[in-house]
Amino acid sequence: MTAPEILVLGSVNRDLIVHAPRLPLPGETLRGQRFGSCLGGKGANQAVAAARLGARVALAARVGLLENGAAMVAQLQGEGVDTEAIAQPVDEVPGVALIVVGAEDAENQIVTVAGSNGTLPLDQVEALRLDGLRWLVAQQELPLASVARAFERAHAAGVKTLLNAAPFRPGCEALLPHVDLLVVNALEAQALVTTLGGAAASPETLAHVLRAKGPAAVLVSLGAEGLCWVDADGARRVPAREVRAVDTVGAGDTLVGALVTALAEGQPIADALAFAQAAAALAVSRAGVQDAMPRRAEVEQLLAMN
């Protein structure tokens, strides 16, 4: 494989997905409509999304070989993801995510168990090869100390960093000085600002507050309302494309993978945001997570219809 230009440091899970008429209430039992199992984890999802869109991408992760972990790594390789930096401990269990998708509004509930994701050590981070990279991407399903050290190394090497601060975790605000691009949804943005002592506010205001803590740019995703982008040139809104939402699981990961692909290619910000929005729109219009992630030709076709 040609040397990667994007390195995703992130989690790899086995997703167990139940589709139900709607999301259950606390203490309620519902009869599900169907069940499926697939490769997931925010790190794996973002790497696959980028690879399907033509990026040269590698994934640094930790996948335990118990419970068929080797098949998960092989699936990533089949998607064109460089897996050289994935540690494969023989005595650990890979991460698991339990997901319920409601047919009423395509919303979801997710519970994750870290498994081997929670044991990614600093010495694995120190061994990461950063030569030739344009972007290092991370989320928050790994130990935050490992993410922080990876970002420190990336900045020292002249590699730009993207933090998808999801899921929200207390203490993640300490990462912000090492972040070039912060990607959050509205709830995560509000949680971060609240942790920093701020109050409830508009997405633009939240983004400005977060940008003042270090990132050169902040993207707040707003679901069906599109996204808000704030950088040195100010704030802009990008509306979402109108699609019939079937399954929103993985839409945020598709957005991140598409955005970093476009930025690594040197696309102007406006074009990169449109590219990312188009990819996410295609993803939510289909069932599944990685199965729903589009190929490059599909995104370009949708953009051409604008």
What's the rounded Cα separation, in Å, for the pair 133 and 267?
17
- Answer for the pair 213, 177: CB distance below 8 angstroms, yes or no: yes
Question: Torsions phi, psi of 280, nearest 5?
Answer: -65, -40
Sign of CA dihedral 36, 42, 44, 45: positive
Tokens at 128, concatenated: 């990461």
Helical segments of the chain, H only: 42-52, 69-78, 122-126, 144-156, 186-195, 203-211, 251-264, 269-284, 296-304
Active site residue 253: yes
Q: Which residues neighbour 9 within 8 Å (Cβ) at sequence distance 6 or greater?
A: 43, 59, 60, 61, 125, 128, 136, 137, 138, 142, 146, 147, 150
Sign of CA dihedral 74, 145, 6, 235: positive
What's the rounded Cα separation, in Å, for the pair 221 and 228?
6
Q: Which residues neighbour 52 within 8 Å (Cβ) at sequence distance 6 or greater?
A: 79, 80, 257, 293, 294, 295, 296
Q: Which residues pair with 37 in a beta bridge?
A: 16
Tell the burial category of 26 from Cβ atoms under 10 Å away from its Cβ (0-12, 13-18, 19+).
exposed
Report the half-sphere exposure of 160 (CA within 13 A, side-chain side). 16
Please tell me which residue in 123, 131, 253, 291 is annotated as part of the active site: 253
Shortest CA distance to 134 belongs to which of 259, 5, 47?
5
By annotation, the residues acting in catalysis are: 253
